């Protein structure tokens, strides 16, 4: 199983890892760990086998995740295809309730024309709305679930 994003919580901070152990820990190839070393992951010394402090490995992974994080501003939704926050086409979105407290804002990406979503609490919808024109849909309850 290949990990899409290494989880820094798997690292034991008081342990040293070899390149192979770190790769096995995250389910990635050992050359990925070597490329992290070339990108600035500190190692104990230049001797073989290369040892990486657990504390520094966890900090490197957390910093890498923080650099890649993209937050959506009010009026934006994240497009998975473009990999960027975008305003929906026509600045219009539908609110589809999931339950009595939360729901999804659903729109269309203006660049690649795919459906984009944003999970939002009904109480905080005014904070994420921005300049969007939101149409509120009704919660559909299946007939078999009615009392």
Q: What would the pLDDT profile of 54-106 be if each residue is shown by its tens digit?
A: 999 999 999 998 888 888 899 999 998 988 999 999 999 999 998 889 999 99
Domain count, the chain: 2
Average pLDDT, the chain: 89
Angstrom distance (rounded) from CA 58 to CA 45: 18
d(CA 57, CA 61): 6
**Residue 2 counted as domain residue:** no
pLDDT at residue 143, as a whole number: 64
Residue where a domain terminates, one of 68, 94, 110:
68
| pLDDT of 146 higher than 70 | no
The answer to whether position 1 is within a domain reads no
pTM: 0.60
114 within domain boundaries:
yes
Taking only the tens place, the pLDDT of each residue in 121-135 is 999 999 999 899 999
User: Which residue among 68, 85, 114 closes a domain?
Assistant: 68
- Report pLDDT for 136: 87
**One domain for residues 20 and 59:** yes
Q: Are 136 and 105 within one domain?
A: yes
79 within 8 A of 89, measured Cβ to Cβ:
no
Residue 1 has pLDDT above 60, yes or no: no
- What DSSP letter does each residue of 75-117 carry, written as one string? T-EEETTTTEEEPPGGGEEEEEESSSSEEEEEEE-TTT--EEE
Based on the fold, state whether residues 57 and 84 are members of the same structural domain: no
Domain closes at, from 68, 101, 117: 68
Q: Residue 60 is part of a domain; what is its CATH number?
A: 1.10.10
- Answer yes or no: is 14 within a domain: yes
Share of the chain above pLDDT 90, in %: 66
What are 130's two structure tokens? Answer: 């921005």
Residues 43 and 96 in one domain: no
34 domain-assigned: yes
Which of residues 54 and 138 earns the better pLDDT score?
54
Q: Residue 139 sits in which domain range?
A: 77-145
Q: Work out the average pLDDT over 139-146.
A: 63
- The mean pLDDT of 33-50, rounded to a whole number, is 90
Residues 58 and 23 in one domain: yes
* Whether residue 131 sits in one domain with residue 85: yes
Has residue 122 been placed in a domain? yes
């Amino acid at each position: 199983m290949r990990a899409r994003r290494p989880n820094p919580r798997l690292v034991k901070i008081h342990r040293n890892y070899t390149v192979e152990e770190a790769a096995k820990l995250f389910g990635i190839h050992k050359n990925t760990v070597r490329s992290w070393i070339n990108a600035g992951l500190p190692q104990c010394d230049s001797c073989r086998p290369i040892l990486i402090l657990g504390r520094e490995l966890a900090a490197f992974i957390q910093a890498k995740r923080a650099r890649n994080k993209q937050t959506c501003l009010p009026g934006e939704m994240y497009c998975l295809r473009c990999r960027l926050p975008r305003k929906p086409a026509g600045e219009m979105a539908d609110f589809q309730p999931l339950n009595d407290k939360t729901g999804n804002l659903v729109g269309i990406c203006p660049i690649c024309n795919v459906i984009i979503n944003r999970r939002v609490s009904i109480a905080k919808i005014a904070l994420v709305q921005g300049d969007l024109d939101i149409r509120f849909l009704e919660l559909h309850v299946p007939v078999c679930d009615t009392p």
